[in-house]
Amino acid sequence: MSGLGKRGSPRRRLVSGIAFLLPNILGFAAFTLVPLVMSFGIAFTDWDTLRHNIFRHETLRFVGFENFSWLFHHPDFLHYLGNTFFLMLGLPFAIAGSLGAALLLTRVSHRPVARRGAFIFATLFLTGSGLLLRMGGMSQVGVWFIFGVLAAVSLVAGVLTGGSVYRTLFYLPNFTAGVATFVLWKKLYNPSGPINAALGPVLDGFASVVRSAPDLFSWGVPLACGVVAAALTLWQLWRLRQHWDDATAGPVSVVSGLLMLAVPVGLQLHWLGLSAVTAVGGPLGVVLIGAVLILKRPRRWGPVCARDAGLSAEIALALGLVPLLTLLAVGVTWGSRLPALAAVGLPAPNWLGDYDWAKPAIMIMGLWAAIGSNNMILYLAGLSNIPPELYEAADMDGASPLQRFWHITWPQLAPVTFFIGVMGVIYGLQGGFEMARVMTKGGPAGSTTTLSYFIYIEGFETGRLGYASAAAWVLFALVFILSLLNFRFGNRSAND
């Protein structure tokens, strides 16, 4: 296809290309590029705000890679890096959540019954809440009543506006200012706060169930989790082999699929008390063996297959599997302790105050914010761009909803998923700074200290800018590599 602008000399094309870029790139260069280059330089110096600033002009020393080597000698750097990656496990959930929300919203978007639906909704909402508030002084009943009315109002409004109300409601988490969200969630997570108040009866009920059959739970839960996890792992291995045999997956996809599978296995081993070396080395060894075993197999359907064919589907599937397997590993590790805990009554978790719960608490908060996030809007836009002819054709073939999703919706959304994935990795790895500053101060015992919070502390509390910059550039390198991978898979699947 001869693209636009293919006419004219390269020079002319360059001029017009740059001309359009100019307004953006000028501002960009001034306010992004210049500081960026400066920070790159800083990473290789011993810049310490204590000694190098407008008040004290000591000579800045070029220290080469010293900052970087110090980083890896820092006793907690790897811990914080691990925290950052652990929190990233929430990303697939978040993407799945926003995709799910978008799918649901697309299904209801029929024609609005009334054009002024939004106004009707607003009026209803206001009168509803006004009425409720007039009846002040009520206790718990009042809360249920409020939720009842809200449910009714959103249902009515949903019908009236053709579902766009839900879109607004889902998008609500984006309306509070960032810091306010953290304050809000800190309150919600208070051990005697609203979440635990709601959770209390549920846990009590569950505890009595556990107490009634303690043996069943002490081995049943870990066993069930273990069996499911093993089955899923084996299934994925079998699938990989199958795809290799069918030449629908290249070596790159097979290896990366295996690598992702190794993550939960390694975590499981780590939680079972094995040393870090075994927990990392063991699964890696298995990956190696598995890769050899699979890749050695002769191909049934001939050799023609790109090295990274099928990577997109592989990564998508593995991303879904990894968090699930991680959850199951949690079940295997801690499930057997259930009866002992239930004997004294299951306490609601002390979310942000507990070393083990702090990270999941933050991931849940992230999930809540992600379901109705910008990603949902992007998916909505993406979904509406899928040509209906594709679905019609599939319907004629009698495809099941799952098949429709897997063969039409998911591949068609690849560019959107690609964008969301890249941005998710970028912001996910950089994130956690504001959250840590406001909610946890990186604690308890450093369990929520992410790299970005570490950078903040090094840069602004200890003043070692060179060191902080080096940490930031390590983070950059990680994001860059992940994005590059993402790009390969994204561009490929976008062009599939």
Q: Kindly identify the residues of this chain, within the stretch 452-491, that bind another protein according to CB under 8 A.
A: 452, 455-457, 459-463, 465, 468-469, 472-473, 475-476, 479-480, 483, 487
Binding another protein by CB under 8 A: which of 205, 381, 403, 496?
A: 381
Q: Round to whole Å and give the CA distance between 325 and 331.
A: 10
Is the Cβ of residue 48 or residue 314 nearer to another protein in the bound state? 48
| Stretch of 186-194, 243-251, 261-269, 278-286 contacting another protein, by CB under 8 A | 186-194
Binding another protein by CB under 8 A: which of 25, 113, 213, 272?
A: 25
Binding another protein by CB under 8 A: which of 114, 116, 123, 187?
A: 187
| Stretch of 87-95, 269-277, 280-288, 371-379 contacting another protein, by CB under 8 A | 371-379
Q: Which of 227, 254, 239, 216 is nearest to 325 (CA)?
A: 227
Binding another protein by CB under 8 A: which of 86, 92, 95, 196?
A: 196
The contacts found for 312-315 with CB under 8 angstroms, 24 or more apart, are 312/411, 312/414, 312/489, 312/490, 312/492, 312/493, 312/496, 313/253, 314/240, 314/243, 314/249, 314/253, 314/254, 314/256, 314/257, 315/253, 315/256, 315/257, 315/260, 315/489
Minimum distance, C-beta of residue 435 to another protein, in the bound complex (Å): 12
Residue 74's alpha-carbon distances to 69, 78, 467, 475, 484, in angstroms, are 9, 8, 11, 15, 28
Is the Cβ of residue 188 or residue 265 nearer to another protein in the bound state? 188
Beta-bridge partners for 57: 52
Q: To which residue do tokens 């992230």 refer?
A: 366
Minimum distance, C-beta of residue 345 to another protein, in the bound complex (Å): 12
Is the Cβ of residue 410 or residue 419 nearer to another protein in the bound state? 419
Q: Which of 90, 160, 110 is nearest to 370 (CA)?
A: 90
Whether the CB-CB separation of 27 and 456 falls below 8 Å is answered with no
Is the Cβ of residue 50 or residue 288 nearer to another protein in the bound state? 50
The residues in 275-304 that bind another protein, with binding defined as CB under 8 A, are none
Is the Cβ of residue 304 or residue 344 nearer to another protein in the bound state? 344
Minimum distance, C-beta of residue 34 to another protein, in the bound complex (Å): 6
Q: What track of x and - describes contact with another protein for positions 115 through 154 (by CB under 8 A)?
A: ---x----------x---x--xxxxx-xx--xx--xx--x
Q: Which of 388, 354, 17, 411 is nearest to 196 (CA)?
A: 354
Residues 6+ apart with CB under 8 A from 49: 463, 464, 465
What phi, psi does 309 have (nearest 5°)? -60, 145
* 44 makes contact with another protein (CB under 8 A): no
Binding another protein by CB under 8 A: which of 85, 96, 124, 193?
A: 193
Minimum distance, C-beta of residue 294 to another protein, in the bound complex (Å): 33
* 94 makes contact with another protein (CB under 8 A): no
Minimum distance, C-beta of residue 99 to another protein, in the bound complex (Å): 13
Is the Cβ of residue 64 or residue 285 nearer to another protein in the bound state? 64
Residue 172's alpha-carbon distances to 119, 152, 179, 369, 438, in angstroms, are 17, 18, 15, 9, 21
**Type of residue at 496:** D
Q: How does DSSP classify residue 406?
A: I
Q: What track of x and - describes contact with another protein for positions 392 through 431 (by CB under 8 A)?
A: x----------------------xx-xx--xx--x---x-
Binding another protein by CB under 8 A: which of 113, 184, 289, 340?
A: 184
| Stretch of 274-282, 308-316, 329-337, 350-358 contacting another protein, by CB under 8 A | 350-358
* 354 makes contact with another protein (CB under 8 A): yes
Q: Is 221 helix (H, G, I), strand (E, B) or coil?
A: helix
Binding another protein by CB under 8 A: which of 13, 297, 299, 337?
A: 13
Interaxial angle between packed helices 311-334 and 90-108, expressed in degrees from 0 to 180 and rounded to the nearest 10: 110
| Stretch of 215-223, 275-283, 313-321, 352-360 contacting another protein, by CB under 8 A | 352-360
Whether the CB-CB separation of 471 and 433 falls below 8 Å is answered with no
Provide the token pair at 136: 């002040």
Total residue count of the chain as it appears in this document = 496
Minimum distance, C-beta of residue 256 to another protein, in the bound complex (Å): 20
Binding another protein by CB under 8 A: which of 123, 208, 385, 403?
A: 385
Q: Round to whole Å and give the CA distance between 90 and 93.
A: 5
Minimum distance, C-beta of residue 173 to another protein, in the bound complex (Å): 6
Minimum distance, C-beta of residue 293 to another protein, in the bound complex (Å): 36
Q: Is 276 helix (H, G, I), strand (E, B) or coil?
A: helix
Minimum distance, C-beta of residue 1 to another protein, in the bound complex (Å): 6
Binding another protein by CB under 8 A: which of 82, 226, 281, 443?
A: 443
Q: How does DSSP classify residue 335?
A: G
Measured from the Cβ of residue 436, the count of other Cβ atoms closer than 10 Å reads 23
Q: Which of 456, 447, 493 is nearest to 82 (CA)?
A: 447
Provide the token pair at 351: 């979310």
The residues in 64-83 that bind another protein, with binding defined as CB under 8 A, are 70, 75
Minimum distance, C-beta of residue 410 to another protein, in the bound complex (Å): 15
Is the Cβ of residue 155 or residue 289 nearer to another protein in the bound state? 155
Q: How does DSSP classify residue 52?
A: B
